Amino acid sequence: ATCYSLKMPETQQIPTEEVQLEIYLFNGQKVKVNILTSDQTEDVLEAVASKLDLPDELVGYFSLFLVQERGDGGCTYVRKLQEFELPYVSITSLHSPDYRIVLRKSYWDTAYDSDVMDDRVGLNLLYAQTVSDVERGWILVNKEQHRQLKSLQEKGSKKEFIRLAQTLKYYGYIKFDPCITDFPEKGCHVIVGAGNNELNFHVKLPSDQMKEGSFKVTRMRCWRVTSSVPVANGTANPSSSSKCDVKLELAFEYLMSKDRLQWVTITSPQAIMMSICLQSMVDELMVKKSGGSIKKMQKKRLNGSFQRSDSQQAVKSPPLLDSPDPSREQVVKLSTKLSSVSLRGLSSSNSASDISGNDFHGNYAFEGIGDDDL
């Protein structure tokens, strides 16, 4: 269960006309598509797929995301564009060149990678995204693994590159900007990652110790996103508060142990994006449980504007991986654990014990979904 709303720009006064919209790929390439200002997310996604010659049966494996470029070269995921959104309106209403719409895979189960890699365009898109995730440190890579990846990249072995990356910690995760959580205690700084049907926490305790732990989506009874504004003189005045004053929180009720539920709160400007990630994980698990498929045959446009032509845009290979940053901090491994979510001491290794150290027992929050489905 979720309760959040997206405040969308007013569209009544925007005339419907043909415009050009830029969609970014993870190799830095831009795809320019001709759309209508009134086109919704699905229409724009179809236009991008057509321009790239991505097969119809793979369109449902990808989504459009609104991101904000940062001065340090990184990017912040604002949200996945929803079906009812008008992407052109969403991006232009921000009045900032820092915002972009990017194409990224929309599924969590790495088993679906095989479907995507069977197609040339799908393989190139997934490969470019994987290289980008390694470069920005979203995927945990040691020096030897980095050497192997770079060797495969130099050989042009894209499938082998992805298959090796699949074995690495945090492959397929979306990482969020540093924020605040009340677990295991109030005011802890945390970096949250979403992937593998969980929210992963890298928590800095008041003692400056670093801990890691994961919250499985199958053990979340519900979650909610709330917003608030500072209170002055006993009253809140949203109209006088700037955008940066609004505080967003994601709170989820978690089955810590049998018969014990506890609320965990994350305070982050990206709370809505985190909630969207949780919802898409649940949706995917339910589809798998029912024996369905995430393949979506997109509806065809009646006019001919999105028909395939001989001028499809090829997806270029990203540049070679840079050498590992020697200044990147190595976090000391700690052996202690916190509470029943098994917060673990952080390590730069990628051992099986680091990944499987947070098994749970008890009833699951979503009917018909258990750890066997993960």
Select from 2.30.29.30, 2.40.30.40, 3.40.225.10, 3.40.50.300 the CATH code of 174-230+245-276: 2.30.29.30
Can 108-172 and 174-230+245-276 be said to share one CATH topology? no
Q: State the pLDDT at residue 4.
A: 43
Written as one letter, the residue type at 52 is: L
Beta bridge partners of 338: 343
CA dihedral 195, 196, 198, 200 (to 10 degrees): -60
What CA–CA distances, in Å, run from 129 to 75, 109, 283, 318, 331? 13, 15, 23, 9, 26
Task: Give me the pLDDT at residue 324, please.
Answer: 59
Whether residue 28 contacts residue 48, with contact meaning beta carbons closer than 8 Å, is answered with: no
Nearest residue to 41 via CA among 298, 311, 276: 298
Quick check: 193 pLDDT over 60? yes
CATH architecture of 108-172: Up-down Bundle (1.20)
Question: For residue 312, what pLDDT band results from cuts at 50, 70 and 90?
Answer: low
Taking only the tens place, the pLDDT of each residue in 325-370 is 544 433 332 222 333 344 544 433 333 333 223 332 222 333 333 4
CATH, range 17-106: 3.10.20.90
> Which residues, in sequence order, are bridge partners of residue 3?
none
The pTM assigned to this predicted structure is 0.78
- Give the count of beta carbons closer than 10 Å to the beta carbon of residue 104: 20
Top pLDDT among 303 and 271 is at 271
Give the bridge partners for 215, in sequence order: 199
Domain boundaries, the chain: 17-106, 108-172, 174-230+245-276
Is the CA virtual torsion 69, 72, 74, 76 positive or negative? negative
Kindly give the pairing relationship between strand 75-80 and strand 62-69: antiparallel
Over residues 95-123, mean pLDDT: 96
pLDDT at 26: 92
Instruction: Give Cα 86 distance to the centre of its chain.
Output: 20
Asked whether residue 236 carries a pLDDT value surpassing 90, the answer given is no
Do the beta carbons of residue 252 and residue 220 sit within 8 Å?
yes
By CB atoms closer than 10 A (0-12, 13-18, 19+), residue 228 is: middle
The CA distance from 220 to 281, in Å, is 12
CA distance 350 to 36: 47
Q: Measure the CA–CA gap between 343 and 78, rounded to whole angstroms.
A: 27
In degrees, to the nearest 5, what angle opens at C-alpha 332 toward C-alphas 168 and 70?
Answer: 65
Instruction: Write the DSSP symbol of residue 14.
Output: S
What are the residue ranges of helices labelled H in 201-349? 271-289
CB 109 within 8 A of CB 56: no
The structure tokens 């976090």 sit at 331
Mean pLDDT, rounded, for 217-225: 97
Pairing between strand 18-24 and 174-175? unpaired
Question: Mean per-residue pLDDT for 6-17?
Answer: 63
Answer whether 149's CB lies under 8 Å from 165's CB.
Answer: yes
Structure confidence at residue 332 (pLDDT): 30
pLDDT at 296: 55
Across residues 221-236, what is the average pLDDT? 79
